[in-house]
Amino acid sequence: MERKHIRRVYETSERPDEKDLEKLKNAKKLLKDLMPIEDLSEKLWYNVSGGMEIFIIEGSEVKPLSSYSKIVKNIGGIHQIRLYVSYENRDEAEQMLRAEGFYDKK
């Protein structure tokens, strides 16, 4: 049995820059007639399953891990955006994106 749910056809990097966001805007414009669904994934990369930031207890103080580690602080969170289309429109969307140089997905 084949599942006919929506299909991902485009995504930004986990931390998109202005160029990535402009490319996303252009992809959405190109796919507008296929009514793409936009999904945003935002979280800290080191979250635990409960969805809370990791805290460090030192004596009687409790501070977030990001206040102790410059690396963790600079890594920041994820802000990845994905575009999905209906199962029926997947091939057409991929062909449109490929023709415009958005990706070389096989």
Which tens digits make up the pLDDT trace of 6-55?
999 999 998 889 999 999 999 999 999 999 999 998 776 555 445 567 78
Alpha carbons 8 and 22: distance in angstroms, whole number:
19
Which CATH number among 3.30.70.1370, 3.30.1330.10, 3.20.20.80, 3.40.718.10 corresponds to the domain 7-99? 3.30.70.1370
**Structure tokens given for 89:** 């429109």
Percent of the chain with pLDDT strictly greater than 90: 48
pTM to 2 decimals?
A: 0.68
Q: What is the maximal distance between C-alpha atoms in the chain? A: 60
Domain ranges of the chain: 7-99
- Tens-place pLDDT, residues 75-88: 666 789 999 999 99
- The packing angle between helices 18-30 and 90-99, to 10°, is 130
Closest to 83 in 3D by CA, of 57, 102, 56: 102
Q: What is the mean pLDDT of the chain?
A: 84
